[in-house]
Amino acid sequence: MYNYKALFDLTGRRALVVGAGSGIGQAAAYALAAHGARVFCGDVNAAGNAETLAGIGELGGQGEGLAIDIRDSASVAAALTATGPVDVLVSTPGINVRKPLLDISDDEFDRVVGLNLKGTFRLLKTYGQAMAERGRGSLITFASIRAQVVEPGQGVYAATKAGIVQMCRALAAELGPRGVRVNAIGPGIVETPLTQPIKSRPEWAAAYANKSAFGRWAQPHEVAGAVVFLASEAGAYVTGSLLMVDGGWTAIDGRFTPPL
């Protein structure tokens, strides 16, 4: 009989989590380490990386930090030299300029696309090639509910997240025959440093909470399980997918509960 107890066991696996210094990336690093992976924590934030590594140590896990800036091809190439081939790549970084589309400048457009979409591309290309050469691996990127639904001020951000999904689907088709899986995760509203400006405004925070079936925001650890699933043998036949972890946001129509 198949060893079902080992479905989520990552013992002996090597994982790179980019954006590990805070938020979802930090939770993903903790979760992978807790399931036995040796985790390379990549971030531009050295202090955040140090905090994550300390947490991995408290879990009894193995971790190592490295500086990586996905806006720079040389930095991504240097990261591969430092980590060597990995079994799992998790890419979480993202930025947003919340403005009406007609007010977005060329520089702001380039900044969001350059990090969110092109930065993700650099990671997928660099680590995807290394995985393809070995004949195995799991590439995990982060999209968003904004890959599917939008609101005013989210035009460029949403375009990058939808682009990440389509890029992953194409790469899944290209690398599937070489043993590499490629998937995206679409979180809803998660309490992280990136969303703190929204969380600090009660009416805005409540409106977002009410969009989920649970009437609340998510915590980073509630997204980390999806990372472990896609990294492990539990997700061995999953590729080209967008796994929504949004509390039902994209499934539910409106905030009003009609009388039934």
pTM, rounded to two decimals: 0.95
Class of the CATH domain delimited by 11-242: alpha beta
pLDDT at 258 over 80: no
Catalytic residue among 2, 157, 208, 237: 157
**CA nearest 115: which of 171, 165, 72, 159?**
72
Average the pLDDT over each of 102-106, 111-115, 151-155, 170-174 and give the range with the smallest value. 151-155
The label of the residue with tokens 């350059």 reads: 114
Q: Which amino acid is at 165?
A: V
pLDDT digits (tens, 9 = 90+) for 91-109: 999 999 999 999 999 999 9
> Residue 2 has what pLDDT?
94
Helix residue ranges, H only, 11-143? 23-34, 46-58, 73-83, 106-112, 120-134
pLDDT digits (tens, 9 = 90+) for 18-63: 999 999 999 999 999 999 999 999 999 999 999 999 999 999 999 9
Which whole-number Å values give the CA distances from 26 to 172, 178, 193, 200, 201, in the listed order?
25, 30, 11, 21, 24
| DSSP summary character for residue 87 | S
What does the mean pLDDT of the chain come to? 96
> Residue 253 has what pLDDT?
75
Spatial separation of the C-alpha atoms in residues 86 and 80, rounded to whole Å: 9
**CA nearest 65: which of 44, 81, 85?**
44
Asked if 157 is an active-site residue, the reply is yes
| DSSP summary character for residue 218 | B
- Residues present in the chain in total: 260
Q: At what angle do helices 155-175 and 120-134 cross, to 10 degrees?
A: 10
pLDDT at 115 over 90: yes
Domain residue spans of the chain = 11-242
